[in-house]
Amino acid sequence: MSPAIQPGDWLLVDPTVTRWPRRGSVVVFREPDSELLAIKRVAAGPGDRVDLDAGHLILGDDEAWLLSDAPLAELVEQGAGTPIDSRRYGPVPVDLLVGRAWFRYWPAGRLGLIRRR
Amino acid sequence: MFRLSRILAPSTTVHAHCDLPCGVYDPEQARIEAESCYKIIEKMGANSDPTFTTRAIHIKEERADLAKHALDVLWHDYFKPEHLEKVPNLHELFWNATKQVSKVKASTNLEDARQLLAMIDEIDAAWKATGGEEKTRVNGRPS
């Protein structure tokens, strides 16, 4: 999630969200397969169309497509495999949503709102 | 000051892992499992004790599955589209090798296992030709 989120950042997460925040928001959620608490960006929300290599899918009304910020080209160059985001585990249902990360309060030099992209 | 930081520090950690490759890829992993299958077949040929045979078959299945998995990881995660320029028959190499693993699972013929080792050697050559050793091993492949 670099550069938006760096290791060691301290974040405020709004846990009151009950529906997927708007596209571009950074969200905290439980990963479908591993139940790990993860943080990604909402790339597409309920009802949106996601284009895949071999076609497309239309998200259900409680699903979101969550992606890491790292550009695919950069990951490929580093020798990374498939990114661990919706490209690996598919759409994420809203019952796995934990909250919206909206503010970084540490380190002080990067204090501020986490902006939608 | 330290107390303040302990109060303010978050209580929960989230993971941003964009990917978790260790980035280490070496056909040696597959080869060792394939060599295990070879040795098992060899020993089966010299020992007709039914208990030994049962155990040997069971272990050969396990090692063969591991060989297949190691080959899959190499194919899916190490090799990239641009490598096809250096190794145009890349996909065929892997298709044939993984099919050969299936053959070795069912086989008591040493020649089948020998064939598998030869196919893995070809994949090893492809890995070396695409810079696998320099790029993915920590200090190169141990000699």
Return the HEC string of B55-89: HHHHHHHHHHHHHHHHHHHHHHHHCCCCHHHHCCC
Q: What is the pLDDT of residues B22-47, one digit of tens each?
A: 667 899 999 999 999 999 999 999 99
Q: Two tokens at A50? A: 């996601």
User: pLDDT tens across B118-140, in order?
Assistant: 999 999 999 999 988 887 777 78
Non-local (6+) Cβ contacts of B34 within 8 A are B63, B64, B67, B101, B104, B113, B116, B117, B120
Interface check for B6 against chain A (CB to CB < 8 A): the answer is: no
A-facing residues of B in 82-121 (CB < 8 A) are none
pLDDT tens, B10-22?
A: 888 887 765 555 6
Q: What confidence score (pLDDT) does residue B136 get?
A: 77
Mean pLDDT value of segment A50-66: 90
pLDDT at A79: 63
B119 near B93, Cβ under 8 Å? yes
Residues 54-93 of chain A with CB under 8 A from chain B are 68-70, 75-76, 78-85
Q: How far apart are the first and last CA of chain A?
A: 12
Chain A interface disruption, residue of B6, B17, B20, B22, most A CBs within 10 A:
B17
Search chain A and give the residue with CA nearest B81. A76
d(CA B49, CA A22): 67
Residue A13: is its pLDDT beyond 60?
yes
pLDDT at A87 over 60: yes
* Residue A104, phi then psi, degrees to nearest 5: -105, 125
Average pLDDT over residues B46-51: 94
Nearest to B101 by CA among B28, B29, B30, B27: B30
**Is the whole model's pTM more than 0.80, yes or no?**
no
Q: Would you state the structure tokens that stand for residue B93, as one six-digit string? A: 């190499």
C-alpha atoms less than 13 angstroms from C-alpha of A65 in its C-beta half-sphere? 16
Question: Above 80 in pLDDT, residue A117?
Answer: yes
Is the Cβ pair A10, B8 closer than 8 Å?
yes
Q: For residues B124 and B128, give the distance between their C-alpha atoms in angstroms, rounded to a whole number.
A: 6
Q: Which residue has the higher pLDDT, B60 or B18?
A: B60
- Give yes or no for a contact between A115 and A102, defined as CB atoms under 8 angstroms apart: no
- Reported ipTM: 0.72
pLDDT digits (tens, 9 = 90+) for B63-89: 999 999 999 989 988 888 888 989 999
